[in-house]
Amino acid sequence: MNLREKIEQEITDKVMTKLASEKIELSLLDDFRKEASNATKDYVKANELWVDVEVAKQKAAKQIDTSVKGFKKAQVSFDKLRKSAAQLGLDLPNDIQKIGDFSNQLSNLKDFANDVK
């Protein structure tokens, strides 16, 4: 191999080495871009889900409040019914007495209300 060929070979080797290192750097850059893009998509989805959770919690809190008010109103009606029946010397049927006991529902609603806060 003459001097010219040696120089050409040396230059070719250096150029190929440089190109290989740039190819590796470009590959790392592409990997980073892909991972960053995926992470950003995951973040956006998680944020959307969190907003959905917050909206659902607000709706649940309103519904719980409405339900508590409804049970309290029904309890007043039940108490009047029971009092009237007692004044007449009548016992309320068992199924009506069971319906009139809202303590479990109100207790559950209280727990639900604490959970959505």
Average pLDDT, the chain: 83
In 3-state terms, what secondary structure has residue 3?
helix
Read off the pLDDT of each residue in 62-80 and give the average, rounded to a whole number: 89
If one compares 45 and 10, the residue with the highest pLDDT of the two is: 45
Task: Give me the half-sphere count of Cα atoms (radius 13 Å) on the Cβ side of residue 86.
Answer: 7
Boundaries of every domain in the chain: 3-116
> Per-residue pLDDT for 50 more than 90?
yes
Convert 79-114 into a string of H (helix), E (strand) and C (coil).
HHHHHHHHHCCCCCCHHHHHHCCCHHHHHHHHHHHH
- Can you give the pTM of this predicted structure? 0.58
What's the pLDDT score for residue 23?
66
What's the pLDDT score for residue 71?
86
> Per-residue pLDDT for 55 more than 90?
yes
